[in-house]
Structure 1
Amino acid sequence: MATKATVYKVQLQIADMDRHYYQDHSLTVAQHPSETEERLMVRVLAFILNASETLHFSKGLSDEGEPELWDKSLNGDINLWVEFGQSDEKWLRKASGRAKHVKLYAYGGRSVPNWWKQIQSSLTRYNNLQVWEIPEEQVNALALLAARNLQLQCNISDKQIWLSNSSDSLMIEPVLLKDFS
């Protein structure tokens, strides 16, 4: 029998002073059996950083034709395609061809600089691609906040993200590796 996904109920209170976005969101996020809590929480962080009324998680990790997180217009155009980890150039080319904007949130500690060194030059031609690195110690601290019923207060100002629950808080500062051209 196949292992089922673990369901997380996430309540977010977002105050994003950088984008002037202030909203509460109730999310149901499925953790694939092969997915770590670090990756799950990076997905939640990406939602926080790009939150809108039309931003949604897709069906799952195994759907090769869709991003895991996206913002689609009413006519079906993809405004934002969000990827996670250390994607290859082929996948990012596909995303860049189908969406107005693509954001990649890379994580993985010491392997990120090596991955970036290998792929950086091939990504310069994608004007609609933005790449961020989430530092390893911040990803690890983020994973410690994971809970099946999670309530987070999220404050964003000057590219600093402050997350807090009822007992802990942490600051996350993503590093911009490549901006939109």
Structure 2
Amino acid sequence: MALKPTIYKLRISLSDLNRNYYDTLNLTIAQHPSETLERMMARVMAFCLNADPELCFTKGLSEVEQPDIWHKSLEQDTLLWIDVGEPTAERLKKAARSAKQVKVYSFNAKSSTWWQQLPSKSKQLPIIFWQFDWQEITRLASFVERTMDMSVTITEQSAYVTTSNNEIELHWQALS
């Protein structure tokens, strides 16, 4: 029998001062059986950084042909493709051909090694690469509850995240 995903419900009060975007996000997130809490929370933060009424989670790890998050037009063109993790050079090429804009959010302890080993041709694709701080993502993942309220305030290249019992400032940097 196949393992089923674990469902999380997050209510996020979002204030993105960089984009003057303010919203309350009610997210239902399916954590794939092979997905860590760290990766799931990196997906949540990538969603918050790009929040838009048309942005949505995809089947992610369950459907390898899709990104983790995307924004599709009414004509079903992919306007934004977001991958979380360390995608292969082939996947990056496919994303760059498939979408008008591509962003990658790397988050784990091996991110720097992945970036150094990524072929230079892949780094020259029209893709925006970001790296979350691994220790901060790990700490954020330790806050997770099946149902939770969060407040996320984004300014510059950091986000101040609070839950009912915890708080953290999360940072990211551009890879180039």
Query: TM-score if structure 1 supplies the norm length?
Result: 0.93
Task: Specify the alignment match of 1:112 in structure 2.
Answer: 111
Distance in 2 between residues matched to 1:164 and 1:23, nearest whole Å: 16
1:60, distance to aligned residue in structure 2 (A): 3.7
Task: Specify the alignment match of 1:130 in structure 2.
Answer: 128
Give the RMSD, CA atoms, in angstroms: 1.1
Distance in 2 between residues matched to 1:43 and 1:124, nearest whole Å: 21
Distance in 1 between residues matched to 2:119 and 2:139, nearest whole Å: 27
Does 1:121 find its partner at 2:104? no
Distance in 2 between residues matched to 1:177 and 1:112, nearest whole Å: 10
1:124, distance to aligned residue in structure 2 (A): 3.4
Task: Specify the alignment match of 2:143 in structure 1.
Answer: 145
User: 2:157–2:173: 8 Å Cα contact kept in structure 1?
Assistant: no
Structure 2 residues not aligned, in runs of 5+: none
The list of structure 1 runs, each at least 4 consecutive aligned residues, that deviate by more than 6 angstroms after superposition, is none
Identity %, equivalent residues = 36
Query: TM-score if structure 2 supplies the norm length?
Result: 0.96
Structure 1 residues not aligned, in runs of 5+: none
Does 1:166 find its partner at 2:164? yes
User: 1:18–1:159: 8 Å Cα contact kept in structure 2?
Assistant: no
Distance in 2 between residues matched to 1:120 and 1:140, nearest whole Å: 28
1:65, distance to aligned residue in structure 2 (A): 1.8
How many residues in Structure 1 have an aligned counterpart in Structure 2? 176
Q: Deviations over 1:66-121 (max 9, x none)?
A: 11210111111111100011111100100010101111111221x22221111151
User: 1:161–1:172: 8 Å Cα contact kept in structure 2?
Assistant: yes
Partner secondary structure for residue 174 of structure 1: strand
Q: How is 1:23-62 mapped onto 2 (pairs within 5 angstroms)?
A: 23-62=23-62
Query: Which one-letter code corresponds to 1:81 in the other structure?
Result: W
